[in-house]
């Protein structure tokens, strides 16, 4: 919705063929939660020219390719300001994710991308930012926060408010980053868990929409970015509207089954829009006009 | 996932041509845990000789063998498939092999109807005490498959 | 059109009027010559003018309508509480093959028989579109010296514009160019109808008038002929037929007894076959798909008819029917109590296919599936 | 030389160095574009349309994208061979033009190198339809039996039977074809094979034009669906979008059995799947035709499916063809070849759907 597709690199894959992945190596695997079904993979490009060709902005995704098993699309969790690597946080769900979870550092895999549109960075400039997220959908917002907090970018944005909720403290991802952001003056980070965790906990207790209503971030000159499970989104949008956010100022990210990631294979469409190229980032105003096929 | 059985019915791993140049068929044998697998084990500890190109897949009962397993083995390049369970009447689960027998009767005839050589897919009964019978059976199957040569039909053409 | 059309409409009207059904499934006129197509009339529509009058019966009502039933009777596994919404009550116009499918589906608990009202139609056999086209091409070539007829769409050798059926069993077609040709319908019936051993709609709740055709011989002769061919010939035929497969799944979708929620071909975690058109994959698919019909296939030829590439699937479905009957004495019929043959066994079942190292070599048994097995046995409860 | 005549027996000589495809008969009654390997080649002229559409030449059902051995990828070189196609009906070549748009780099920002490379290296010779079939409705979608869209050369059979003649004297009775070059690639082919061609006579051109006009009139007579989609794309889009929630969808789609025959045999359906297949660690990544009619097409790994039933899936097919494609490509994704009608096991008819929404467009005309 912001950067048009043609402005970005037209080649999503090696040698100008968008179907062929760039070779990358898994440099590090971090288990993100107590349930151990979320792992973050740090990927390093094998070729410098691939790394520089892979120019992205927060909000985009990529197809992670495990030869012999297949490809799956994941939101990019790293920020372009973290130049040396890509991060993907992967939930153990199907065949590709199982193969990834069974991998050890050092394994060579592939990445195709960057794919899709970005958060509306032009529009976000000069605005207060309200980030609302629940569960493991936090990935691209980690990217967005890291990007905005980078010294060269921070002054472009006003106040940054972030609310991140999970079922229990053990399910919150990116512990290191969260700790750093909590101490930072540049962002007001609020953590929440669904119910009393029965352990020392200095964050909020309650479901994300309720905590959001309680914290009531200001809507004036602000844009909200919301990522989370469908049920959370459904109850969060009315709260944001109560707080005064216009439909255009509520930014969401969609997911649909994908294969090609480049608008050809025809399966991820919602009406005439393809999530892989016209999305995944849509405003609530845009989504309202589309049929509910996601 | 990588642990799943069919993905691992890969006969490719087996050496097919020995240094001497003689062709050795790849045989996948599905053996029931209670009789035939124990029979194979007995053949082993009794040092009875049978061809080396057999890969045994242990199943809880011959009734566990779905014709899809056999197809998958053939598709992945097995030259022969053997399924063996307890003798009728001796099933650990009372009647598993009797239900299996019906399935196998049809499988055998059906595959031959399509033009799959009868030697390729064989069924037998071997008890836990029949180490000798097991080695004879294996030698018989290997000889049969050798006679018809390397599998071509149904083998998936992959790089 | 069959004179029984009006009777079927009457039956549907009566069922709706007495509030016995919520939906009626029958046939309506198709949009192409030689075609009638499935038609769905809800109780709400039934009150409207002309709704029930859409129903027709003629020699082109070949589709097996039982294929639609599971959709309305979805089996919910592990359900503890009684179903909240009652099953929709469905009236269905059924030929004998549809009825046999209904019995098979009832046995497999895919259909609630007591929520169905089966309007049985004594079947006179359905006309085979492809046979008519071939006969018309031959007829036209013989008639118009010096040229062939106007070819039809999709590779049909001739284009038929219209058809007319007379009560005394003659099919007349009009070709593009105005030529008309006719045949006694017996000559252009589907092979499965000519061979049909159970054409009477036994066990229907309402039966319309008329007599079903005389039972056929089952059509095993062609299978025996094929069994007698060499391994090489059989393989070549299979390979040649399957080379046309485009993996559209029409065979599976048209089959009333292919009701798995997730087909083995589409399982991704345990990937049995590839998604492409590699011959090994298309063959694997067909062999297992048809094998899954063992003891369940009612020889309706729905798969064969549905195949847009005209693959000879009926050779293989018939083979499995024949083997099941010969080995276990079982023919899927109208008896809801008979146990499906692969869910049971007999101690006297054949062992002739077993490789016995103590006996002289012979590659284990039956060999080419030629003919009946050594011992014929009968399934329990049959 | 833009117009020239050639004898039918010389057609296989246009083959050149690369591949040559022409209508042929597969086993059974199925017809398709088959590759003619050797001469003398048997080319089928007596066909309404071939069953398997032309897309299979440029967008094969199964295509290898790359091969791999453990973690090493080997790219499969893009196809380089030249392709000559003879005898595609104008509806099929029009479909190519629609696919060109979808696979072009301008569409959603990415090219499809495999399809585009084959198209670049190809010369497509359309053969005008002299005797349209009952299920043809090309004129409704903006095409016609002598449509020029997507073809490099349009060929006409000279001396083909007049449609409606009492005695059909064989669609291919004439032994001469009139070629009209439509593109530079077409002209180059004519020039490269100059020795096979003769200057077209004015009478021959007139004969061809007459036959084309008669054929077009015939299609209009056979299938007037009350709307000309090619000319009314805006009205179409306006009328399709509100139809998403229309109650008629369930009636139109009740009889669908959920197979993919319509999509696989559609010359404009292009959806595909990408899958890996391997033995141990060696294998290949392929792409294959896929169909929006299959539940797996859209099912998420979580099990959630945005399109859960056949009504939604079939609606997607028609909405894509007549609304989404108009928005994304300014054209419908349908050429009126009628294959989906004849291939459907239950005679579900796309013309019924077109008629249903044509009513909305017609009523717009009335109110204007």
Exposure b/e, C56-83, CB count within 10 A at least 16 = b: bbbbbbbbbbbbbbbebbeeeeeeeeee
Does A228 touch chain D if contact means CB atoms closer than 8 Å? no
- Residue D351 confidence class, pLDDT cut points 50, 70, 90: very high
Give the model confidence (pLDDT) of B40-51 as tens digits: 999 999 999 888
Q: Give chain B's contact residues with D (Cβ, < 8 Å).
A: 10, 12-13, 76-77, 156, 158-159
C157 and C140 in a common domain: yes
DSSP D125-163: EEE--SS--TT--GGGGT--TT--TT-SEEEEEETPPPT
Q: Tell whether the model's pLDDT for residue D140 goes beyond 50.
A: yes
Q: Residue B159 and residue D277: Cβ atoms within 8 Å?
A: no
The pLDDT of residue D241 is 80
Q: Using alpha carbons only, give the angle C128, C134, C137 rounded to the nearest 5 degrees.
A: 140
Residue C34 lies in a domain: yes
The pLDDT of residue D34 is 82
- Residue C376 confidence class, pLDDT cut points 50, 70, 90: very low
Comparing CB atoms, the residue among A10, A109, A294 nearest residue D110 is: A10
Q: How far apart are CA B78 and CA B70, in angstroms?
A: 9
Looking at the 3D structure of chain A, how many domains does it have? 2
Give the model confidence (pLDDT) of A79-117 as tens digits: 999 989 999 999 999 899 999 999 999 999 999 989 999
Looking at the 3D structure of chain C, how many domains does it have? 2
Q: How far apart are CA C160 and CA C158, in angstroms?
A: 6
Q: Give mean pLDDT, residues C131-159.
A: 75
C59 and C139 in a common domain: no
| Interface mutation vs chain C, best among A72, A95, A267, most C CBs within 10 Å | A95
Q: Give mean pLDDT, residues C285-305.
A: 96
Q: Which residues of C touch D345 (CB under 8 A)?
A: 63, 250, 253-254, 302, 305-306, 308
Does B1 touch chain A if contact means CB atoms closer than 8 Å? yes
Residue A79 lies in a domain: yes
Q: Tell whether the model's pLDDT for residue C295 goes beyond 70.
A: yes
The alpha-carbon gap from A105 to the nearest alpha carbon of chain B, in Å, equals 18
Q: Using alpha carbons only, give the angle D96, D99, D104 rounded to the nearest 5 degrees.
A: 120
The pLDDT of residue C57 is 95
* Residues linked to residue A22 through DSSP beta bridges, in sequence order: A111
Give the model confidence (pLDDT) of A174-201 as tens digits: 999 999 999 999 999 999 999 988 888 8
A129 and A222 in a common domain: yes
Comparing CB atoms, the residue among B102, B140, B156 nearest residue C280 is: B156
Least confident segment among A142-151, C100-109, D353-362 = D353-362
Q: Residue B159 and residue D280: Cβ atoms within 8 Å?
A: no
Q: Residue D338 and residue C153: Cβ atoms within 8 Å?
A: yes
| Interface mutation vs chain C, best among B114, B125, B151, most C CBs within 10 Å | B114
Of residues D216 and A8, which shows the higher confidence score? D216
Residue C19 lies in a domain: yes
The pLDDT of residue A14 is 67
Residues written for chain C: 382
Q: Which residues of A touch D276 (CB under 8 A)?
A: 67-70
The pLDDT of residue A15 is 63
Does A95 touch chain C if contact means CB atoms closer than 8 Å? yes
Q: Are A7 and A30 in contact (CB under 8 A)?
A: no
- Residue D234 confidence class, pLDDT cut points 50, 70, 90: confident
Does C93 touch chain D if contact means CB atoms closer than 8 Å? no
Give the domain-ending residue among A97, A115, A133: A115
Q: Give mean pLDDT, residues B95-122.
A: 95
Q: Residue A260 and residue D274: Cβ atoms within 8 Å?
A: yes
The alpha-carbon gap from B69 to the nearest alpha carbon of chain C, in Å, equals 9
The pLDDT of residue D138 is 93
Of residues B13 and C138, which shows the higher confidence score? C138
Q: Tell whether the model's pLDDT for residue B145 goes beyond 80.
A: yes
User: Would you kindly state where each structural domain of chain B is located, as residue ranges?
Assistant: 23-148
The alpha-carbon gap from C184 to the nearest alpha carbon of chain B, in Å, equals 35
Q: How far apart are CA C62 and CA C256, in angstroms?
A: 13
Domain span holding position C54: 5-79+86-120
A245 and A130 in a common domain: yes
Phi, psi of C116 (to 5 degrees): -105, 145
**Residue A114, preceding peptide bond in cis (omega within 30° of 0):** yes
Q: Give mean pLDDT, residues B13-28.
A: 71
Contacts with C, D 63-92, CB within 8 Å? none
Of residues C358 and C325, which shows the higher confidence score? C325
**Which position has the token pair 């490809």?**
A71
| Interface mutation vs chain A, best among C268, C270, C274, most A CBs within 10 Å | C268
The pLDDT of residue B18 is 55
C-alpha distances (whole Å) from B118 to each of B74, C48, C379, D190 are 13, 61, 26, 56
Q: Which residues of A touch D295 (CB under 8 A)?
A: none
**Would you state the CATH architecture of domain B23-148?**
3-Layer(aba) Sandwich (3.40)
Across the A/D interface, how many CB contacts are shorter than 8 Å? 133
Domain span holding position A226: 121-253
Does B2 touch chain A if contact means CB atoms closer than 8 Å? yes
Enclosing H/E stretch for A283: strand A281-283
Q: Which residues of C touch B114 (CB under 8 A)?
A: 234-235, 238, 283, 287, 316
Q: Tell whether the model's pLDDT for residue B23 goes beyond 50.
A: yes
A109 and A222 in a common domain: no
Residue A90 lies in a domain: yes
Residue C310 lies in a domain: no
Identify the CATH number of the domain in which residue A159 sits. Answer: 3.40.50.80
| Residue B95 structure tokens | 């009647």
C40 and C65 in a common domain: yes
Q: Which residues of D touch C177 (CB under 8 A)?
A: 164-168
The pLDDT of residue C214 is 94
Q: Tell whether the model's pLDDT for residue D161 goes beyond 50.
A: no
C66 and C31 in a common domain: yes
**Chain D residue closest in CA terms to C29:** D347
Least confident segment among C132-146, C195-209, C333-347, D105-119 = C132-146
The alpha-carbon gap from D37 to the nearest alpha carbon of chain B, in Å, equals 23
C-alpha distances (whole Å) from D254 to each of C13, C336, D317 are 20, 28, 15
Of residues C207 and D16, which shows the higher confidence score? C207
C-alpha distances (whole Å) from D222 to each of C147, C161, C328, D129, D135 are 24, 11, 54, 14, 8
Share of chain A above pLDDT 70, in %: 95
Residue C46 lies in a domain: yes
Q: How far apart are CA D366 and CA D350, in angstroms?
A: 24
Q: Give mean pLDDT, residues D192-220.
A: 90
Q: Residue A264 and residue D110: Cβ atoms within 8 Å?
A: yes
The alpha-carbon gap from B138 to the nearest alpha carbon of chain C, in Å, equals 9
Identify the CATH number of the domain in which residue A108 sits. Answer: 2.40.30.10
The pLDDT of residue B17 is 55
C101 and C42 in a common domain: yes
Exposure b/e, A207-239, CB count within 10 A at least 16 = b: bbbbbbbebebebeebbbbbbbeeebbeebbeb
Residue C353 lies in a domain: no
Q: Using alpha carbons only, give the angle D33, D34, D38 rounded to the nearest 5 degrees.
A: 145
Q: Residue A69 and residue D276: Cβ atoms within 8 Å?
A: yes
Q: What average pLDDT does chain D have?
A: 87
Q: Which residues of D touch B13 (CB under 8 A)?
A: 280
Does C151 touch chain D if contact means CB atoms closer than 8 Å? yes
Does A229 touch chain C if contact means CB atoms closer than 8 Å? no
Give the model confidence (pLDDT) of B64-104 as tens digits: 999 999 999 999 999 999 999 999 999 999 999 999 999 99
Q: Give mean pLDDT, residues D142-162.
A: 85
Q: Which residues of A touch D111 (CB under 8 A)?
A: 10, 18
| Residue C200 structure tokens | 């009477």
Least confident segment among C82-86, C294-298, C341-345 = C82-86
Contacts with A, D 244-303, CB within 8 Å? 244, 270-276, 278, 281, 283, 285, 287, 290, 292, 297-302
Q: In a structure prediction context, what are the per-residue pLDDT tens digits for chain A, which is 294 residues long?
A: 444 333 444 456 666 789 999 999 999 999 999 999 999 999 999 999 999 999 999 999 999 999 989 999 999 999 999 989 999 999 999 899 999 999 999 999 999 989 999 999 999 999 999 999 999 899 999 999 999 999 999 999 999 999 999 999 999 999 999 999 999 999 999 999 999 888 888 899 999 999 999 999 999 999 999 999 888 999 999 999 999 999 999 999 998 999 999 999 999 999 999 999 998 999 999 999 999 888
Residue C90 lies in a domain: yes
C16 and C105 in a common domain: yes
- Residue D165 confidence class, pLDDT cut points 50, 70, 90: very low
A71 and A12 in a common domain: yes
Comparing CB atoms, the residue among D258, D264, D352 nearest residue C253 is: D258
Q: Residue D270 and residue A68: Cβ atoms within 8 Å?
A: no
Q: Which residues of A touch C271 (CB under 8 A)?
A: 95
- Residue D172 confidence class, pLDDT cut points 50, 70, 90: very low
* Residues linked to residue D156 through DSSP beta bridges, in sequence order: D178
C114 and C11 in a common domain: yes
């Amino acid at each position: 919705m912001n950067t048009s597709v043609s402005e970005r690199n037209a080649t999503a894959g090696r040698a100008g063929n968008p179907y062929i992945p760039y070779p990358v190596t898994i440099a590090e695997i971090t288990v993100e939660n107590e349930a151990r079904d979320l792992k973050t993979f740090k990927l390093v490009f094998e070729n410098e020219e691939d790394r520089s060709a892979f120019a992205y902005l927060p909000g985009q995704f990529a197809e992670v390719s495990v030869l012999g098993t297949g490809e799956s699309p994941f939101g990019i969790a790293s920020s372009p300001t973290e130049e040396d690597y890509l991060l993907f946080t992967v939930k153990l769900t199907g065949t590709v994710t199982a193969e990834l979870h069974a991998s050890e550092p050092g394994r060579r895999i592939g990445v195709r991308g960057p794919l899709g549109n970005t958060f509306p960075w032009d529009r976000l400039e000069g605005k207060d930012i309200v980030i609302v997220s629940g569960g493991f959908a936090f990935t691209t917002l980690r990217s967005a926060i890291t990007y905005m907090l980078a010294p060269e970018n921070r002054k472009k944005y006003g106040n940054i408010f972030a609310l991140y909720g999970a079922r229990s403290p053990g399910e919150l991802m990116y512990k290191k980053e969260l700790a750093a952001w909590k101490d930072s003056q540049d962002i007001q980070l609020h953590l929440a868990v669904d119910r009393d965790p029965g352990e020392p906990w200095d964050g909020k207790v309650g479901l994300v929409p309720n905590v959001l209503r309680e914290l009531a971030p200001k809507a004036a000159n602000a844009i909200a970015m919301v990522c989370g499970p469908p049920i959370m989104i459904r109850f969060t949008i009315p709260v944001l509207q109560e707080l005064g956010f216009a439909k255009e100022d509520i930014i969401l990210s969609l997911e649909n089954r994908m294969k090609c990631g480049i608008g050809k294979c025809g399966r991820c469409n919602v009406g005439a829009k393809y999530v892989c190229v016209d999305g995944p980032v849509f405003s609530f105003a845009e989504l309202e006009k589309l049929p509910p096929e996601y | 996932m990588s642990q799943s059985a069919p993905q691992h019915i890969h006969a490719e791993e087996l050496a097919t041509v020995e240094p001497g140049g003689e062709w050795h068929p790849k045989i996948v044998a599905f053996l029931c845990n209670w009789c035939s697998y124990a029979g194979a084990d007995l053949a082993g500890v009794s040092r009875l000789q049978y061809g080396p190109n057999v890969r045994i897949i242990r199943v809880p009962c011959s009734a566990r063998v779905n014709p899809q397993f056999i197809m998958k083995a053939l598709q992945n390049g097995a030259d022969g498939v053997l399924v063996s369970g307890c003798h009728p009447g001796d099933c650990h689960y009372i009647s598993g092999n009797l239900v299996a027998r019906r399935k196998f009767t049809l499988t055998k005839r059906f595959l031959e109807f399509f033009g799959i050589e009868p030697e390729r897919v064989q069924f037998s009964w071997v008890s836990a005490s029949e180490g000798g019978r097991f080695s004879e059976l294996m030698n018989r199957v290997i000889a049969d498959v050798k006679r018809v040569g390397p599998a071509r039909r149904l083998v998936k053409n992959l790089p | 059109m069959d004179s029984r059309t009006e009777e079927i409409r009457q039956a549907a009207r009566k069922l709706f009027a007495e509030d016995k059904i919520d939906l009626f499934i029958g046939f309506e006129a198709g949009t192409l010559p030689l075609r009638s197509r499935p038609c769905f009339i809800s109780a709400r529509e039934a009150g409207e003018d002309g709704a029930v009058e859409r129903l027709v019966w003629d020699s082109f009502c070949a589709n097996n309508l039982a294929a639609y039933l599971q959709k309305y009777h979805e089996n919910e596994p592990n359900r503890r509480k009684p179903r909240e919404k009652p099953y929709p009550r469905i009236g269905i116009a059924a030929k004998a093959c549809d009825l046999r499918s209904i019995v098979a589906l009832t046995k497999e608990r895919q259909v609630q028989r007591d929520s169905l009202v089966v309007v049985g139609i004594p079947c006179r056999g359905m006309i085979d579109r492809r046979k008519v086209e071939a006969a018309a091409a031959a007829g036209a070539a013989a008639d118009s010296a010096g040229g062939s007829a106007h070819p039809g769409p999709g590779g049909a050798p001739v284009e038929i514009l219209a058809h007319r059926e007379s009560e005394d069993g003659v099919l007349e077609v009009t070709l593009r160019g105005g030529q008309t040709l006719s045949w006694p319908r017996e000559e252009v019936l589907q092979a499965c109808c000519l061979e049909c051993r159970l054409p009477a709609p036994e066990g229907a709740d309402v039966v319309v008038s008329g007599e079903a055709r005389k039972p056929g011989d089952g059509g095993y002769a062609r299978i025996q002929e094929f069994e007698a061919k060499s391994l090489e010939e059989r393989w070549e035929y299979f390979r040649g037929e399957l080379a046309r497969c485009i993996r559209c799944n029409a065979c599976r979708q048209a089959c009333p007894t292919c009701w798995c929620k997730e087909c083995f071909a589409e399982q991704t975690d345990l990937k049995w076959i590839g998604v492409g058109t590699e011959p090994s994959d298309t063959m694997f698919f067909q062999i297992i798909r048809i094998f899954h019909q063992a003891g369940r296939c009612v020889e309706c030829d729905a798969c064969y008819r549905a195949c847009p590439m005209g693959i000879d699937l009926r050779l293989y479905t018939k083979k499995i029917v024949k083997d099941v009957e010969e080995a276990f004495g079982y023919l899927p019929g109208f008896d809801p109590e008979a146990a499906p043959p692969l869910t049971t066994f007999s101690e006297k079942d054949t062992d002739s296919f077993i490789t016995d190292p103590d006996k002289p070599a012979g590659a284990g048994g039956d060999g080419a599936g030629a003919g009946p097995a050594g011992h014929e046995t009968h399934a329990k409860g049959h | 030389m833009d117009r020239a005549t050639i004898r039918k027996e010389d057609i296989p000589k246009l083959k050149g160095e690369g591949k040559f495809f022409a209508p042929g008969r597969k086993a059974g009654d199925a017809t398709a574009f088959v590759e003619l390997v050797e001469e003398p080649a048997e080319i089928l002229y007596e066909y309404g349309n071939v069953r398997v559409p032309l897309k299979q030449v440029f967008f094969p059902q199964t295509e290898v994208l790359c091969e791999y051995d453990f973690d090493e990828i080997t790219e499969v070189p893009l196809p380089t061979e030249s392709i000559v196609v003879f005898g595609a009906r104008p509806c099929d070549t029009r479909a190519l033009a629609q696919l060109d748009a979808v696979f072009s780099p301008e569409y959603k920002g990415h090219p499809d190198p495999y399809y585009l490379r084959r198209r670049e290296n190809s010369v497509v010779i359309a053969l005008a339809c002299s005797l349209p079939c009952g299920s043809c409705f090309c004129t409704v979608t903006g095409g016609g039996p002598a449509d020029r869209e997507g073809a490099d050369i349009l060929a006409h059979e000279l001396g083909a039977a007049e449609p409606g003649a009492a005695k059909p004297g064989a669609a291919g009775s004439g032994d001469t074809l009139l070629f009209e070059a439509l593109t530079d690639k077409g002209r180059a082919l004519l020039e490269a094979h100059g020795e096979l061609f003769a200057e077209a006579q004015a009478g021959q051109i007139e004969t061809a034009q007459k036959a084309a006009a008669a054929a077009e009139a015939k299609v209009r007579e056979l299938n007037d669906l009350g709307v000309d989609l090619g000319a009314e794309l805006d009205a179409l889009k306006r009328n399709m979008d509100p139809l998403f929630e229309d109650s008629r969808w369930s009636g139109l789609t009740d009889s669908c059995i959920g197979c993919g025959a319509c999509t696989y045999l559609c010359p404009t359906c292009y959806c595909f799947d990408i899958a890996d297949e391997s033995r141990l660690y060696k294998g290949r990544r392929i792409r294959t035709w896929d169909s929006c009619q299959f539940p797996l097409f859209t099912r998420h790994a979580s099990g959630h499916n945005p399109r859960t039933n056949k009504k939604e899936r079939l609606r997607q097919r028609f909405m894509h063809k007549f609304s989404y494609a108009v928005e994304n490509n300014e054209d419908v994704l349908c050429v009126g070849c009628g294959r989906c009608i004849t291939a459907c096991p239950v005679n579900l008819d796309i013309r019924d759907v077109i008629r249903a929404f044509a009513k909305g467009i017609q009523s717009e005309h009335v109110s204007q």
